[in-house]
């Protein structure tokens, strides 16, 4: 079987229609966040593992300058088509996210996380934390919807809120990490919304 660390694995999942992480819409907790008071101020934003681009399109519709990145060309093509159809300014690039550090260091006010952290191999999690830190500008923020299930195996690989904090400290200040009430039914009780600020 192809490794989750290889692009062909994710491309195959999209082709086979086994992309169960794709909910066909932007994550409801992000929509609520952007309509809250105070919502994050708009800024340059990277969406890691963007899939078909629903979250990226949502943030772009709220005035953020958005770039979405994904391993799978099928996902990037679909996201680009959705952006064009809806006249949304979000841009999408096919990339291995771990190659972005050299291409976009200190480039973003925000990084958006949703079903990417849970998809990478657990041994890559420290590298993911370093990547996000590198991509963000000083005082930039990670806005993350973490999938905190406790089932064995993966992807998606499970994690606890305590483990999330252990990974992200001391590189980030934990501004918020709390359960959300408006997850899709299949993920009720298994998602936590985090706002982490880069520390130097």
Where are the chain's structural domains? Answer: 7-14+43-198
CA distance to 29, 182, 200, per residue, from 178 (Å) = 11, 12, 24
In this prediction, residue 18 carries a pLDDT of 45
d(C-alpha 149, C-alpha 190), whole Å: 5
pLDDT at 25 over 60: yes
pLDDT at 105 over 50: yes
**Domain with residues 7-14+43-198, CATH architecture:** 3-Layer(aba) Sandwich (3.40)
For residues 24-47, give the mean pLDDT: 94
In this prediction, residue 128 carries a pLDDT of 97
The 3-state DSSP class for residue 153 equals coil
pLDDT at 62 over 90: yes
d(C-alpha 154, C-alpha 172), whole Å: 26
The residue behind tokens 């089932």 is 151
In this prediction, residue 155 carries a pLDDT of 76
In this prediction, residue 2 carries a pLDDT of 36
Backbone angles phi, psi at 143, to 5 degrees: -105, 110
pLDDT, averaged across the chain: 89
Specify whether the CB–CB gap between 60 and 30 falls below 8 A.
no
């Amino acid at each position: 079987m192809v490794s989750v660390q290889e692009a062909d694995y994710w491309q195959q999942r999209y082709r086979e229609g086994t992309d169960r992480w794709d909910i066909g819409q932007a994550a409801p907790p992000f929509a609520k966040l952007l309509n809250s008071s105070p919502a994050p101020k708009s800024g340059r934003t990277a969406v890691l593992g963007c899939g078909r681009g629903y979250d990226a399109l949502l943030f772009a519709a709220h005035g953020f300058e958005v770039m979405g990145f994904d391993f799978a060309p099928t996902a990037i093509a679909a996201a680009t088509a959705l952006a064009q159809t809806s006249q949304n300014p979000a841009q999408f690039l096919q990339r291995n996210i771990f190659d972005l550090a050299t291409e976009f260091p200190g480039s973003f006010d925000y990084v958006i996380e949703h079903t990417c952290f849970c998809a990478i191999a657990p041994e890559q999690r420290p590298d993911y934390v370093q990547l996000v830190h590198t991509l963000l500008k000083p005082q930039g923020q990670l806005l993350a919807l973490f999938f905190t299930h406790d089932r064995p195996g993966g992807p998606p690989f499970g994690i606890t809120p305590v483990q999330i904090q252990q990974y992200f400290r001391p590189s980030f200040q934990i501004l918020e990490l709390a359960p959300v009430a408006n997850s899709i039914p299949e993920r009720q009780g298994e998602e936590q919304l985090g706002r982490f600020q880069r520390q130097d």
